[in-house]
Chains A and B, each alone.
Chain A
């Protein structure tokens, strides 16, 4: 059972449901430590003050906002304590919307909520109601000193909480004028046919991080003292891709050829077919 990272309550209207928050995803990238090549020791990071020419302890730190190059305004703990954080321990549902109205670009991280013992019934009620109406709840939550917009939706029997970016954190909201590129009906049809060939159900189980797999193999082999063989390249099995590439290259070579030849018909002599 993973440890909850947050405890509080979901509230809407008169109802308040005590819940715990868990991270729904984990990053499985293989992390490396930086070592000193000569002795193999792990490196330690130290905070170095260039003015006092000494290392600085954690307790001696304060926070500064760089408002201009090398110019800082200092904020103390007292300043921070004055900040309003109404959603500190509540997830206050403020609206119910259709999920498709939230563009995927807004989604930041995924968590899920579980009810505390005392909240089982209202929690189930909320889940059922959202499911029945096929709706997503929008709320605010404060996680790790940041007040975040979030969306709650039932998924596989769990209540998911996805943190959302604020609109001013998204760079691609403005629509731009699409450059005019001429695409013929035939080209489009070709692209659509290729897509149709590869039409599939989304099955994430089909995909895996091949780089990570290969990296773990190397690490395991090193641990066993075995010699590292080169990782075999993936077998060539993309027939459709090759066929499409062949077609593209053959078509391109057709355009390149200097002559769509226009030999005079009169010169045409055809030998009678054999037989």
Chain B
């Protein structure tokens, strides 16, 4: 067949087998001769390959050093040095049949999951959640670093509306920083959904984050990589003290899963890919990777609309209410996490819960068979070595949401 006519078509992406996903015919281009039309090589974003050999070597060395029974010493991480201390301090007290987990266990976990975790932390401002005396002690959130951290810790200055001024945020770009966070007993790693790097889809955005609100609003950090859906069950186990948050229980998680599947179907019908992970606590997070075309306000609005849509279909099971009484017995669809500066626990982040569960990505097909505390800082590294990082391709699964939406015109 000899091509004769040229058409302009909007589409979401090329499929793996070279077809168009969600194509919409726009118009005929009589101004373009058919013999000048070429297939542009599909631009795929391949994340910078970590230098795995040297990282593996660093990790092996760190794990060897952590075999030491010493309470504290200078840990060598590649070329960097990190003073570690209180390694026998119990961060997660003994729970059920499991022994107490110490800071040494925590550092071993971070080192082992480093190759899988670091790509998800890279370029993202971090909120620290520090538990200096373990999960039964007091804790505090830390966004800004006042003291000068070690030289291998990357900081990004950015404008903070809260402080009406610029503040330095930590970005965890290397193993040494990850272990330094472990030494600070930053048990949970909460990341922004936006990144400081423009690659590959943010080159139209500014990369100056300081000076003013307007400046950061026009920058990469106001254009998230994901729409995030936070599903939080308010179905109680019955063992909670009055006023306590609901504890993990089978009924609640089963219902949360059901809601997640409804959402997957809705997102599928919009031709949007979705990724699900356990939160490590009671709920599930669903991430929808999108090109950096929406501001955080727009991502939040889109998420809210999706929420109202699923709520309308299942008013008995889902809530978007503020008051805890009205949430009771239902799954909270929380769209309000889609705000610049708000963070969710990263995948593979441990959680400050007695069973030491970690936030774990799950393939949709496997979701029915898993339970949040299947994955702990003791079991997750083996699973990761076995099946790899299920979210490794999340930024490659991005959708051109602007085209999808304009197809609704």
What residues of chain A have their CB less than 8 Å away from a CB belonging to chain B? Answer: 189-190, 193-194, 230, 233-237, 239-240, 242-250, 252-254, 256-259, 261-263, 267-271, 273-274
| B213: Cβ under 8 A from any A Cβ | yes
A24 to chain B, nearest CB (A): 36
Closest chain B residue to A257, Cβ basis: B297
Taking CB atoms, residues of chain A closer than 8 Å to B313 are 233-236
Whether B269 lies near A239 (C-beta < 8 A) is yes
Which residues of chain A have C-beta atoms less than 8 A from B215's C-beta? 261, 263, 267
Let me know if A263 and B405 touch, CB within 8 A.
Answer: no
What are 17 A-B contacts defined by CB distance under 8 Å? A194-B409, A233-B313, A236-B310, A237-B269, A240-B408, A249-B302, A249-B305, A250-B298, A254-B295, A257-B295, A257-B298, A258-B217, A261-B215, A262-B218, A268-B208, A269-B207, A270-B203
Kindly list 5 other residue pairs between chains A and B, CB separation below 8 angstroms, not including A236-B266, A240-B408, A273-B203.
Answer: A190-B409, A242-B266, A246-B270, A261-B206, A267-B215
Residues from chain A with a CB closer than 8 A to the CB of B219 are: 261, 263
B21 at interface, CB cutoff 8 A = no
- On whether the beta carbons of A246 and B306 are closer than 8 Å, the reply is yes
- Which residues of chain A come closer than 8 Å to B198, judged between CB atoms? 270-271
B47 to chain A, nearest CB (A): 9
Nearest CB of A to B228, in Å:
16
The verdict on B31 contacting chain A, using a C-beta distance below 8 Å, is: no
Given contacts A257-B217, A261-B218, contact A245 B305 (CB under 8 A): yes
B302 / chain A contacts, CB cutoff of 8 Å: 246, 249-250, 253
Task: Contact check, A249 vs B408: say whether CB atoms are below 8 A apart.
Answer: no
Q: Which residues of B lie under 8 Å from residue A247 when comparing CB positions?
A: 405-406, 408-409
- Whether the Cβ atoms of A259 and B298 lie closer than 8 Å is no
Distance, CA A194 to CA B407, complexed state (A): 10
Q: Which residue of A lies closest to B407 (CB)?
A: A243
Question: Within 8 Å CB of B241, what residues of A?
Answer: none
| Contact residues of B between 299 and 355, Cβ < 8 Å to A | 300-302, 304-306, 309-310, 312-316
Most chain B CB atoms below 10 A, which of A240, A243, A245, A252: A243
Mark each residue of chain B from 282 to 302: 1 if its CB lies under 8 Å from any CB of chain A, else 0.
000000000000110110111
Which residues of A lie under 8 Å from residue B367 when comparing CB positions?
Answer: none
B151 at the interface (CB under 8 A from A): no
Of chain A, the residue at the smallest CB distance from B305 is: A249
Query: A254–B300 Cα gap in the complex (Å)?
Result: 11
Q: Would A250 and B206 count as touching, CB distance under 8 A?
A: no
Q: Does B133 touch A at the CB level, under 8 Å?
A: no
- Whether the Cβ atoms of A242 and B297 lie closer than 8 Å is no
User: How distant is A268 from chain B, measured CB to nearest CB, in Å?
Assistant: 5
Closest 8 CB pairs of A and B: A261-B218, A253-B301, A243-B408, A259-B214, A249-B301, A253-B298, A249-B305, A247-B405
The chain B residue sitting closest to A186, CB to CB, is B409
> Among the listed B213, B214, B266, B301, which residue makes an inter-chain contact with A252, where contact means beta carbons less than 8 Å apart?
B301
Least CB distance from A188 to B in Å reads 11
Complex alpha-carbon distance, A248 and B219, angstroms: 23
Chain A residue numbers with a CB within 8 Å of B309 are 236, 242, 245
Q: State whether the Cβ of B184 lies closer than 8 Å to any Cβ in chain A.
A: no
A244 CA to B302 CA, complexed, in Å? 11
Q: A246-B408, A263-B218 are in contact. Are A268 and B207 (CB under 8 A)?
A: yes
Name the A residues within 8 Å of B83 (CB-CB): none
Q: Is the CB of B208 within 8 A of A261?
A: no
A271 touches B197 (CB 8 A): yes
Cβ–Cβ contact A243 & B199, under 8 A: no
A233 touches B218 (CB 8 A): no
A273 to B43 alpha-carbon distance, docked (Å): 13
**Residue interface bits B239-266, CB-to-A below 8 A is 1, else 0:** 0000000000000000000000010011
Question: A189-B409, A193-B409, A257-B217 are known contacts. Are A233 and B315 too (CB-CB below 8 A)?
Answer: yes
Which chain B positions have C-beta within 8 A of A194? 408-409
The answer for the CA separation of A254 and B407 in the assembled complex, in Å, is 18
- In Å, the complex CA distance between A193 and B270 comes to 18
Name B293's closest neighbour in chain A (CB-CB).
A250
CB of B214 within 8 A of CB of A243, answer no
B312: which A residues are within 8 A, CB to CB? 233, 236
Are B199 and A273 touching (Cβ within 8 A)? yes
The closest CB in chain A to the CB of B262 belongs to A236
Given contacts A270-B198, A271-B197, A273-B199, contact A246 B300 (CB under 8 A): no
CB closest chain-B residue, reference A197: B408
Most B-side CB within 10 Å, residue of A234, A248, A259? A259
Please, how many angstroms separate the alpha-carbon atoms of A233 and B312 in the complex?
8
Chain B proximity of A183: nearest CB distance (Å)? 15
A44 to chain B, nearest CB (A): 40
Shortest CB distance B257–A (Å): 18
Please tell me if B365 contacts chain A, counting CB pairs below 8 Å. no
CB–CB A230/B408 < 8 A: no
Interface residue B82 (Cβ < 8 Å from any Cβ of A): no
Give A238's nearest chain B residue, CB to CB.
B309
Q: Are A254 and B298 in contact (CB under 8 A)?
A: yes
In the complex, the answer to whether A243 meets B404 with C-beta atoms within 8 Å is yes
Q: How far is the CB of A17 from chain B (nearest CB, A)?
A: 54
Q: Does B48 contact A (CB under 8 A)?
A: yes
Complexed CA–CA distance, A62 and B165 (Å): 86
Q: Are A242 and B306 in contact (CB under 8 A)?
A: yes
Determine whether the beta carbon of B408 is less than 8 Å from that of A262.
no
Alpha-carbon separation in the docked complex, A261 to B213 (Å): 9
Which chain B residues numbered 359 to 409 have a C-beta less than 8 Å away from chain A?
A: 404-409
CB distance from B157 to the nearest CB of A (A): 13
A253-B305 Cα distance, complex, nearest whole Å: 11
Give the interface centre of B48, B301, B312 by most chain A CB atoms within 10 Å: B301
Q: Which chain A residues lie closer than 8 Å to B265 at the CB level? A: 236
Q: Given the known inter-chain contacts A239-B270, A242-B270, A247-B406, please indicate yes or no for A259 contacting B306, CB distance below 8 A.
A: no
